[in-house]
């Protein structure tokens, strides 16, 4: 994975010093809260419902054992012994003191981490496929491109006071495991006639007005990636709406101009910027790529195959063992095909039955750090589904890994099943929320553990947001839940039919909302309709798409 | 009644206007009446509180003010999903009362 | 505006002419200073850059970042005159503004010169190529470190 050189380290260290100075000026009254707020946000520091919250960047979700161990240390030293992994592949701490914020950033900088641009109206942490570099179906590892863009976007002088936040995602496979088209810019690395290049999808997003990003350029050569991004951003910075924060995201600009006109303007700006020499040389991309080469044992499978970059293999299943202790179930659900058929990527569930989705204690983080070092070439990934991946695990090591995870409460075999619920922090932590999300997730997970339907339901992506901002991705859930405020009480709308995958679709509201108990029943009712109506091999989403909303409405509101 | 709540500038802790200062306990909160906005502005300017705002409340059964909106009731207690981290970790009823 | 509060990073003689609006400039062809509001299109000036001594770019609120693009566009087109950031300009934005090509600052609230110097010196290097002469880190890494 990427390692800082002296330049990267100096930049992060300078940022810590800058923020230390800004915090001191705030505490001394030399900055008003209005002046300080954008500065603290650009360092990931929010003022939340109960306290300051710090969001730490985990660039494209990748980190090593030492970094995970530092996250555990911070949880204990400055917070209350836990952290919350987010749908942006980051981690948040909920109980931070302003007085400690700069010290935390300094601790992070000591392990090449930061909280730069994890909030604010700037280019945010860049997300990617959580199986990047390990997945069997990629044309390339997308992370070098994400790292190139991370550096370009860090402290960008022109794009730090954008109309609104800006999220970029980079993937490199037909399968979309990162909700790429629901980003402000979604980039897919593709191969054309033996050359790699980038597809640009611009203007997607969730929030109050969900939109699926249209393709605006089918192939940007790799030596124009930064220039094209700069053009796309400049058009947005100049013409994105600033009169209404709810209409300020680039999706609204692209929608109002039309994709064709937006594209025309970007191409015009792009042609101009090509003359300006803003693009790093390809040698820089090659330098970055060097950090992401597969560790050498991973480059050769036992059969002697050499899974070169670009080789797409068949789904390689987990080892065939009969144990009867839950291992098989975990190995079936919580592993993903690796480029090397002797290995898999293992999904560590942070969704125990009745637990808080995405929360991990400091002790659990240390277990993850140890396991990464022992079994996964010192590498971890944070998933947008609020789980963790050990990307390179030898199949022979799976039983031992599963045992260790189970002992630490992280061995639940529920990846992509009903219990694998995405939930934003909701009204338990977030000052923007209208309703609590976590208790709903807990009740649903308990219900389906008790009724035994989880296995029968198969892949079913349930996503819960506590307000219209959609941090819980409810628009993209096979089943989505949106918490709303109905005259001061919590109410929950049910949505069906969303997908964040390559078959991207936006979920539709079923009808009137439910109270806390009613929404759990409603989810079970919808699940039962699927179990009754499904045909061979259909997932919940497939059945919904085939039979439509009507049978569900009938069952829900009979 | 009108309560004023905000966060402590240094620690971020939720605080409530007590009439002559700020407390982390809603039991100490007082009705600021029509002066609430003015007090909030004055106290923020003096950096004794950060981002204060006025909320409606009514006296609860034991006399403790009960904010009208669940958001401030959660603020007053702590996260309902982590009773151990609330201000009343030993009171099993506390979370029921928030909802 | 009171000249005393202006931070100026140029050695030439300041142009003291009042700035006219973009609209007025279109008709008043002898003006040498223009003021661009956030919604104004800096590219309207491109045909006339050689006779402009100063362009003021307005920041009614520091959170409105359109002026950063306006500044870069003018510098990319070769404008060599004074580029002045006017309005809600705070010390924490100065370094980015300078990178976008501003070389004068007229903040509503005075900025201490020492604070401004510290802000300009804060980051040892830069990650991007912009409208200032600084060499980006990617160029330093690949032996392109000579003075640019």
Decide if A27 touches B, using CB distance below 8 A. yes
Chain segment B17-69, per-residue pLDDT in tens: 999 999 999 999 999 999 999 999 999 999 999 999 999 999 988 889 999 99
Decide if A160 touches C, using CB distance below 8 A. yes
**What pLDDT does residue C144 have?**
65
Q: Could you give the 3-state DSSP secondary structure of residue C143? A: coil
How many beta-carbon pairs below 8 A join chains A and B? 68
The shortest CB-CB distance from A35 to any of C90, C124, C138 is to: C90
Question: For residue A281, is pLDDT > 50?
Answer: yes
**What pLDDT does residue A312 have?**
38
| Contact assignment for B85 to A80 by CB distance below 8 Å | yes
| Contact assignment for A428 to B44 by CB distance below 8 Å | no
CATH number of the structural domain A422-556: 3.30.413.10
Question: For residue A310, is pLDDT > 60?
Answer: no
Instruction: Report residue A304's pLDDT band, with 50, 70 and 90 as the boundaries.
Output: low
A186 phi and psi angles, rounded to 5 deg: -110, 125
Q: CA nearest C94 in A: which residue?
A: A157
Whether chains C and B touch (3+ CB pairs under 8 A) is answered by no
How many beta-carbon pairs below 8 A join chains A and C? 98
Chain B hits for A94, Cβ within 8 Å: 79
CATH number for the domain including C96? 3.20.20.70
| Contact assignment for A7 to C130 by CB distance below 8 Å | no
Q: Could you give the 3-state DSSP secondary structure of residue B90? A: coil
Quote the CA–CA distance of A527 and A372 in Å, as a whole number. Answer: 36
**What pLDDT does residue C143 have?**
84
The shortest CB-CB distance from C123 to any of A14, A280, A284 is to: A14
Q: Report which DSSP code applies to A337.
A: E
**What pLDDT does residue C146 have?**
47
What's the token pair of residue A326? 């839950």
Choosing among C43, C66, C135, which should be mutated to test the A contact, i.e. which has the most A CBs within 10 A? C66
Chain segment A125-149, per-residue pLDDT in tens: 999 999 999 999 999 999 999 999 9
**What pLDDT does residue A383 have?**
98
Regarding the domain delimited by A6-109, which CATH topology (the fold level of the hierarchy) does it fall under?
Sulfite Reductase Hemoprotein; domain 2 (3.90.480)
pLDDT, mean over chain A? 95
**What pLDDT does residue A301 have?**
81
Decide if B33 touches A, using CB distance below 8 A. no
| Contact assignment for A161 to C138 by CB distance below 8 Å | no
The DSSP secondary structure of C57-89, one letter per residue, reads EEESSTT-THHHHHHHHHHHTT--SEEEEEES-
Chain segment A484-530, per-residue pLDDT in tens: 999 888 999 999 999 999 999 999 999 999 999 999 999 999 999 99
Which contacts qualify for A233-236: CB closer than 8 Å, 24 or more apart?
A233/A123, A233/A158, A233/A159, A233/A162, A233/A166, A234/A158, A234/A269, A234/A273, A234/C69, A235/A262, A235/A265, A235/A266, A235/A269, A236/A162, A236/A163, A236/A166
Q: Could you tell me which residues come within 8 angstroms of residue C129 by beta carbon, excluding any fewer than 6 positions away? A: A276, A277, A278, C136, C139
Q: State the burial class of residue A28 (Cβ atoms within 10 Å of its Cβ: 0-12, 13-18, 19+).
A: exposed
CA distance A156 to chain C (A): 7
Domain spanning A142-273, CATH class:
alpha beta
Which contacts qualify for B77-80: CB closer than 8 Å, 24 or more apart?
B78/A50, B79/A50, B79/A94, B79/A428, B79/A429, B80/A428, B80/A436, B80/A439
Domain boundaries defined on chain A: 6-109, 142-273, 325-414, 422-556
Decide if A50 touches B, using CB distance below 8 A. yes
CA distance A447 to chain B (A): 17
**What pLDDT does residue A309 have?**
42
| Contact assignment for C100 to A158 by CB distance below 8 Å | yes
What's the token pair of residue B44? 């923020």
The DSSP secondary structure of B49-88, one letter per residue, reads SEEEEEEEEEE-TTS-EEESSHHHHHHHH--TT-GGGSS-
Chain segment A199-218, per-residue pLDDT in tens: 999 999 999 999 999 999 99
**Among A388, A467, A468, which residue's Cα sits nearest to residue A91?**
A388
Chains meeting B at 3+ CB pairs closer than 8 A?
A
Choosing among B40, B51, B78, B79, which should be mutated to test the A contact, i.e. which has the most A CBs within 10 A? B79
Question: B3 and B29 in contact (C-beta within 8 Å)?
Answer: yes
**What pLDDT does residue B61 have?**
86
| Contact assignment for A160 to C96 by CB distance below 8 Å | yes
The shortest CB-CB distance from A96 to any of B12, B14, B71 is to: B12
Quote the CA–CA distance of B2 and A304 in Å, as a whole number. Answer: 75
The Cα-based distances of A31 to A25, A51, A121, C129 in angstroms read: 6, 20, 19, 30
CA distance A31 to chain C (A): 10
**What pLDDT does residue C147 have?**
42
**What pLDDT does residue C26 have?**
86
Give the number of C-alpha atoms closer than 13 A to the C-alpha of residue C109, restricted to the C-beta side.
Answer: 10
Chain A hits for B9, Cβ within 8 Å: 26-27, 98
| Contact assignment for A50 to B80 by CB distance below 8 Å | no
**What pLDDT does residue A300 have?**
86
pLDDT, mean over chain B? 95
Chain segment A258-273, per-residue pLDDT in tens: 999 999 999 999 999 9
**What pLDDT does residue C40 have?**
97
Question: For residue C3, is pLDDT > 90?
Answer: no
Decide if B45 touches A, using CB distance below 8 A. no
Chain A hits for C38, Cβ within 8 Å: 242
Domain spanning A325-414, CATH class:
alpha beta
Chain segment A426-474, per-residue pLDDT in tens: 999 999 999 999 999 999 999 999 999 999 999 999 999 999 999 999 9
The DSSP secondary structure of A132-151, one letter per residue, reads TTTBTTBSS-SHHHHHHHHH
| Contact assignment for B75 to A50 by CB distance below 8 Å | yes
Chain A hits for B57, Cβ within 8 Å: none
Chain segment A334-379, per-residue pLDDT in tens: 999 999 999 999 999 999 999 999 999 999 999 999 999 999 999 9
ipTM above 0.85, yes or no: yes
Chain A hits for C145, Cβ within 8 Å: none
C-alpha radius of gyration, chain A, whole number: 23
Quote the CA–CA distance of A360 and A287 in Å, as a whole number. Answer: 34
Question: A73 and A129 in contact (C-beta within 8 Å)?
Answer: no
| Contact assignment for C76 to A276 by CB distance below 8 Å | yes
Quote the CA–CA distance of A374 and A401 in Å, as a whole number. Answer: 9
Range of the domain at C41: 3-122
Q: Report which DSSP code applies to A340.
A: S
**What pLDDT does residue C145 have?**
54
Chain segment C37-80, per-residue pLDDT in tens: 999 999 999 999 999 999 999 999 999 999 999 999 999 999 99
Chain segment C108-128, per-residue pLDDT in tens: 999 999 999 999 999 999 999
| Contact assignment for B82 to A428 by CB distance below 8 Å | yes
Chain segment A70-127, per-residue pLDDT in tens: 999 999 999 999 999 999 999 999 999 999 999 999 999 999 999 999 999 999 999 9
| Contact assignment for C92 to A35 by CB distance below 8 Å | yes
**What pLDDT does residue A325 have?**
77
Total number of domains in chain C: 1
**What pLDDT does residue C22 have?**
94
Choosing among B6, B7, B10, B12, which should be mutated to test the A contact, i.e. which has the most A CBs within 10 A? B12
pTM: 0.95
């Amino acid at each position: 994975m990427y390692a800082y050189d002296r330049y990267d380290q100096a930049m992060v260290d300078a940022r810590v010093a800058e923020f230390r100075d800004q915090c001191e000026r705030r505490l001394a009254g030399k900055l008003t809260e209005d002046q300080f707020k954008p500065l603290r946000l650009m360092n990931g520091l929010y003022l939340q419902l109960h306290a300051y919250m710090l969001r730490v960047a985990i660039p494209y979700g990748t980190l090593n054992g030492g970094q995970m161990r530092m996250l555990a240390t911070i949880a204990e030293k400055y917070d209350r012994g836990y952290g919350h992994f987010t749908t942006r592949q980051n981690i948040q701490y909920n109980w931070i003191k302003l007085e400690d914020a700069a010290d935390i950033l300094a601790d992070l900088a000591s392990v090449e981490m930061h909280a730069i641009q994890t909030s604010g109206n700037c280019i945010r942490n860049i997300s990617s496929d959580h199986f990047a570099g390990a997945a069997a179906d990629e044309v390339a590892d997308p992370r070098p491109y994400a790292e190139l863009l991370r550096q370009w976007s860090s402290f960008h002088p022109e794009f730090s006071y954008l109309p609104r936040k800006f999220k970029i995602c980079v993937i490199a496979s037909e399968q979309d495991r990162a909700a790429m088209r629901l980003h402000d810019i979604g980039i897919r690395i593709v191969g054309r006639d033996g050359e790699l290049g980038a597809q640009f999808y611009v203007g997607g997003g969730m929030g109050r007005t969900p939109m699926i990003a249209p393709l605006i350029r089918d192939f940007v050569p790799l030596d124009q990636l930064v220039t094209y991004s700069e053009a796309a951003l400049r058009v947005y910075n100049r013409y994105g709406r600033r009169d209404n924060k709810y209409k300020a995201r680039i999706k609204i600009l692209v929608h109002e101009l039309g994709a064709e006109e937006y594209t025309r303007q970007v191409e015009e700006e792009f042609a101009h910027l090509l003359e300006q020499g803003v693009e790093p040389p390809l040698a820089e991309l090659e330098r970055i790529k060097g950090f992401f080469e597969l560790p050498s044992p991973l480059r050769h499978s036992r059969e002697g195959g050499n899974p070169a970059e670009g080789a797409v293999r068949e789904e390689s299943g987990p080892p065939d063992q009969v144990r009867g202790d839950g291992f098989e179930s975990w190995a079936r659900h919580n592993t993903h095909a690796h480029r090397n058929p002797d290995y898999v990527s293992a999904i560590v569930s942070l969704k125990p039955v009745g637990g808080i989705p995405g929360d991990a204690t400091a002790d659990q983080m240390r277990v993850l750090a140890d396991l990464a070092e022992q079994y996964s070439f010192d590498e971890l990934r944070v998933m947008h589904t609020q789980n963790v991946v050990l990307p390179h695990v030898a199949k022979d090591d799976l039983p031992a890994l599963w045992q260790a995870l189970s002992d630490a409460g992280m061995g639940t075999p529920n990846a992509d099943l009903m219990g694998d619920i995405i939930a934003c922090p909701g009204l338990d932590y977030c000052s923007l929320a209208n309703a609590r999300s976590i208790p709903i997730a807990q009740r649903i997970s308990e219900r389906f553990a008790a009724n035994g339907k989880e296995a029968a339901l198969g892949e079913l992506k349930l996503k819960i947001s506590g307000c219209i901002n959609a941090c819980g991705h409810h628009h993209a859930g096979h089943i989505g839940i949106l918490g709303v405020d109905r005259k001061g009480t919590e109410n929950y709308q049910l949505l069906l039919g969303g997908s964040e995958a390559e078959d991207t679709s936006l979920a539709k509201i079923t009808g009137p909302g439910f109270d806390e108990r009613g929404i759990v029943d409603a989810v079970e009712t919808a699940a039962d309709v699927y179990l009754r109506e499904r045909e061979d091999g259909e997932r919940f989403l497939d059945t919904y798409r085939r039979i439509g909303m009507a049978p569900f409405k009938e069952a829900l509101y009979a | 009644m009108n309560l004023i709540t905000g966060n402590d500038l240094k620690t971020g802790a939720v605080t409530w206007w007590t009439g002559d200062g700020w407390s982390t306990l809603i039991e100490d909160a007082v009705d600021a009446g029509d002066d609430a906005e003015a007090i909030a502005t004055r106290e923020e300017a003096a950096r004794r509180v950060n981002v204060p705002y006025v909320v409606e409340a009514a006296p609860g059964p034991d006399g403790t003010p009960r904010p009208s909106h669940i958001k401030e009731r959660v603020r007053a207690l702590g996260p309902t999903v982590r009773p151990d981290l609330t201000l009343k970790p030993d009171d099993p009823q506390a979370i029921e009362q928030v909802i | 505006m009171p000249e005393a509060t202006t931070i100026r990073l140029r050695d030439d003689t300041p142009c003291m002419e009042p700035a006219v609006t973009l609209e007025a400039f279109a008709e008043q062809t002898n003006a040498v200073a223009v003021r661009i509001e956030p919604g104004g299109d800096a590219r309207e000036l491109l045909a006339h850059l050689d006779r402009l001594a100063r362009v003021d770019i307005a920041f009614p609120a520091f959170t409105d970042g359109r002026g950063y693009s306006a500044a870069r566009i003018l510098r990319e087109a070769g404008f060599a005159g004074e580029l002045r950031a006017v309005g809600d300009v705070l010390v924490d934005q100065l370094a980015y503004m300078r990178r976008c090509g501003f070389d004068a600052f007229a903040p509503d609230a005075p900025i201490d010169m020492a604070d401004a110097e510290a802000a300009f010196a804060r980051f040892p290097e830069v990650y991007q190529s912009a409208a200032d002469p600084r060499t980006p880190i990617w160029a330093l890494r690949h032996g392109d470190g000579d003075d640019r």
